[in-house]
């Protein structure tokens, strides 16, 4: 079945410097008029490149998001950028709980929850990332880990009635490894995610479930063919024009 909307979210991580970010943003902006209308694209550049890239995307229908935010609005927090500051600079989305934040930077469930709340309060749309490590997968506790990550971020939230929720399922072992999750397995987890979110936040509108972890032009079709997968969150392959354009092209074949 054809999807009404296809989420193509690009996490540029720390792959591109200032000039590279601007060059790629301009190249994408000049292609944007050719993108299928069903595509909902958002780019998550580095904090340094955020503002100029946001300017480039302003009128071309490409969304813009922050990779990470701090939950306090303003103050003595060296090195941090708040959700409100991003909002003022034209931001629409923010990743929360990305596995690199959780595992490389030791971000706790409590911190993730605070960020999630701050993003929402600032009027941005959070993209909550969840996923198990390879040890957790081997121990057969994927479902428990994912549910716990979802519930701890969502349970205290007062969610605006009917507002869409975006969740990215990104198994830690699949990120940047070339070892993507089996699409059938991802579908199963996405069904659990949708069910858990609906139970935890009954007021929520549509629950959009993205898959992330070694997505490329060759495997995106298999993920988008799954009914519970609404789109993808892509790292490595989104930071190069050729591979991102291939993903865009392949995404609309389903």
For ligand PGA, the closer of residues 226 and 236 by Cβ is 236
User: Which residue number, 132 or 170, has a Cβ lying nearer to ligand PGA?
Assistant: 170
* Interface pick for ligand PGA out of 181, 183, 236, 248 (rule CB under 6 A): 236
Select the residue whose beta carbon is closest to ligand PGA and give its number.
235
Restricted to residues 168-207, the positions that interact with ligand PGA (CB under 6 A) are 170, 175-176
Q: Which is nearer to ligand PGA, 123 or 176 (CB)?
A: 176
Residue tagged active-site, from 20, 170, 184, 250: 170
Catalytic residue flag (residue 191): no
Tell me: does residue 215 bind ligand PGA (CB under 6 A). Answer: yes
Residues 115-174 binding ligand PGA (CB under 6 A) are 170
Whole-number Å distance between alpha carbons of 43 and 57? 9
Nearest residue (CB) to ligand PGA, 231 versus 235: 235
Q: Which residues are near ligand PGA by CB under 6 A? A: 11, 170, 175-176, 212-215, 233-237
What are the residue numbers of the active site?
98, 170
């Amino acid at each position: 079945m054809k999807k009404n909307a296809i989420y193509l979210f690009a996490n540029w991580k720390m792959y591109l410097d200032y000039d590279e970010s601007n060059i790629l943003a301009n190249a994408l902006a000049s292609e944007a008029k050719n993108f299928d209308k069903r595509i909902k694209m958002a780019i998550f550049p580095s904090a340094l490149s955020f503002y100029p890239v946001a300017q480039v995307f302003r009128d071309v229908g490409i969304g813009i998001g922050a990779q990470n935010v701090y939950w306090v609005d303003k103050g003595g927090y060296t090195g941090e950028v708040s959700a409100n500051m991003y909002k003022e600079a034209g931001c629409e989305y923010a990743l929360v709980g990305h596995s690199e934040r959780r595992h490389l930077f030791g971000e706790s469930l409590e911190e993730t929850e605070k960020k999630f709340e701050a993003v929402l309060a600032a009027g941005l749309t959070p993209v909550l990332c969840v996923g198990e490590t390879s040890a957790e997968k081997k121990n057969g506790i994927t479902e428990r880990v994912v549910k716990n990550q979802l519930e701890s971020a969502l349970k205290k939230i007062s969610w605006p009635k009917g507002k869409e929720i975006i969740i990215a399922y990104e198994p830690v072992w699949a990120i940047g490894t070339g070892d993507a999750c089996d699409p059938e397995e991802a579908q199963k987890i996405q069904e659990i995610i949708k069910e858990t979110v609906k139970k935890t936040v009954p007021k929520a509108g549509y629950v959009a479930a993205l898959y992330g972890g070694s997505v490329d032009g060759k495997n995106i079709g298999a993920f988008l063919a799954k009914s519970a997968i609404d789109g993808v969150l892509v790292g490595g392959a989104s930071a190069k024009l050729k591979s991102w354009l291939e993903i865009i092209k392949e995404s609309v074949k389903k």
